[in-house]
Amino acid sequence: MRKITLAFILLALIFQACTPEKKIRPSGNVITIGILAPLSRANRKYGYQSLLGIEFANRHKTYLRNGDKVVFEIQDTKSSPEGTQEALQTLVDKNVTAIISFVGSGNMIALKNMLQKIKIPMIVTLATNDEISKINNSIAQICMSNQREALVAAHYIKDEKFINSVGILYYSDNAYSLSLATQFQKYYKKIRGKDTFFLDFSQKEALKKLENENMKDVRIIFSVLSSKDTAKVLKVLRRKGVPLLLSDGTFSSAKESVKDDLHYFNGAYIIEHYASNMRGNRDYKKLQKLLATEHLEDSSYAFLAYDAYELLYYALQNCPKHEQKCINALFQNSDTIEGIAGNFSMQNAKVKRKIYIDKIENLRLKRAIVTY
């Protein structure tokens, strides 16, 4: 925890050096927004990067036009369902106006019964499972859903690369991996593609099976594996001359955990919310510099958090009395909003935005194609 505390002190100093927003006469009213973030244990890096993005956005838009101030009530989820439940209950008890969650699908689904009873408007940035927004009518997903990612991957391989046969790598014991792989398989078959193999990496000897797999008819493999296993797979595929299409976030995770083998990722393709060579808004380069100061490059976690704040700010501006019913309606369906890397909107609790297929070159994301 000491390292996290020091990091936040550094962040505070950096934010103080940022250009202040235009002068607004404070009204004295404070709007408290709850933040669910894993700031300790396994997922603390995701939580820290997300918090960096949302604090940056808040620093530039602290006050609404009417002078009301937006402040955060931050709760550590401790990277567990139990910790998330405790943190969420604390925010409910504090009667926050809205909640922004940096919690993944697994921990969110584990709290399904609790979430069904809570009507506080909520934005989730990392929970990609399509069922999340269906838990109740107060949850909006600003991240790309599994369904959307699977659909984009299937059409990119079939319609852009003209590939009719693929391999699929997944974990049967991981809900996110299994869901994404299964949906990709369904969409790919629907557009008359076929999967040559559907290989479960939660089973023993999976890597050996991949080494022995006949790749004669396979021109690309869709993978929903961890960055650690992906590095192993890429070593095998490099010898076989077969490229890999990765699920979002894999490369960001790899830069944190498999640095010695990072060069193997060059040449792989990946579905992402953002690309290194995209054009962003006026804050994009500033946030990039801040990420670089923290030794983080092009963090989707920070960018998604920034966009979550933009959606929150839009809703608060258009709900003068900050009524939760009004805020929730705008979280679910919004006008076009300027995000960190381009415009987006919310439709039926899901985000509508550009999705990038990137190719990894020189350990950076280079845009290959943009889709909607």
Domain end, chosen from 243, 272, 301, is at 272
Res. 216 pLDDT band, cuts 50 70 90: confident
Can you give the residue range of the structural domain that contains 252?
147-272
What average pLDDT does the segment 73-94 reach?
97
Q: What is the Cα–Cα distance from 260 to 243, expressed in whole angstroms?
A: 20
| Residue at 361 is within a domain | no
- The answer to whether 193 touches 217, Cβ cutoff 8 Å, is no
- The answer to whether 83 touches 77, Cβ cutoff 8 Å, is yes
Q: What is the Cα–Cα distance from 256 to 154, expressed in whole angstroms?
A: 28
Minimum mean pLDDT range among 2-6, 83-87, 234-238, 341-345: 2-6
What backbone torsions phi and psi does residue 198 show, to the nearest 5 degrees?
-125, 90
Quick: pLDDT tens for 134-181.
999 999 999 999 999 999 999 999 999 999 999 999 999 988 899 999
What average pLDDT does the segment 188-201 reach?
93
Q: State both tokens at 357.
A: 């297929």
pLDDT at 270: 94
pLDDT at 200: 97
Domain end, chosen from 255, 272, 289, is at 272
What average pLDDT does the segment 174-202 reach?
93
- Residue 135 and residue 10 share a domain: yes
Residue 215: what residue type? Answer: M
Res. 10 pLDDT band, cuts 50 70 90: very low
Domain count, the chain: 2
Minimum mean pLDDT range among 21-25, 81-85, 189-193, 300-304: 21-25
Q: State both tokens at 293.
A: 């100061």
Q: State both tokens at 297.
A: 């490059």
- Residue 83 and residue 30 share a domain: yes
Res. 43 pLDDT band, cuts 50 70 90: confident
- Residue 94 and residue 18 share a domain: yes
Q: What is the mean pLDDT of the chain?
A: 90
Task: State the DSSP H helix or E strand holding residue 170, giving kind and residue range, or none if neither.
Answer: strand 165-170
Is pLDDT at 6 greater than 60 in this prediction? no
| Residue at 366 is within a domain | no
Q: How many CB atoms lie within 10 A of CB 77?
A: 28
pLDDT at 296: 73
Share of the chain above pLDDT 70, in %: 93
pLDDT at 115: 96
- The answer to whether 270 touches 259, Cβ cutoff 8 Å, is no
pLDDT at 347: 97
Q: State both tokens at 197.
A: 């193999």
Q: How many CB atoms lie within 10 A of CB 162?
A: 8
Q: How many CB atoms lie within 10 A of CB 119?
A: 14
- Beta-ladder partners of 306: none
- Beta-ladder partners of 63: 69
Tokens 């808040």, located at residue: 58
Q: State both tokens at 227.
A: 């960055």
Share of the chain above pLDDT 90, in %: 72
| Residue at 59 is within a domain | yes
Residue 231: what residue type? Answer: A
Q: State both tokens at 296.
A: 């983080």
Alpha helices in the chain (DSSP H): 2-16, 44-60, 81-93, 105-110, 112-117, 146-155, 175-190, 206-212, 227-240, 250-257, 284-293, 300-317, 324-332
The domain spanning residue 294 has which CATH number?
A: 3.40.50.2300
Q: What is the Cα–Cα distance from 304 to 265, expressed in whole angstroms?
A: 23
How does DSSP classify residue 311? Answer: H
| Residue at 287 is within a domain | yes
| Residue at 100 is within a domain | yes
- Residue 110 and residue 49 share a domain: yes
- Residue 157 and residue 129 share a domain: no
Is pLDDT at 291 greater than 80 in this prediction? yes
Domain end, chosen from 246, 272, 298, is at 272
Q: Which residue, among 92, 113, 83, 112, has the nearest Cα to 34 in the 3D structure?
A: 92
Is pLDDT at 307 greater than 50 in this prediction? yes
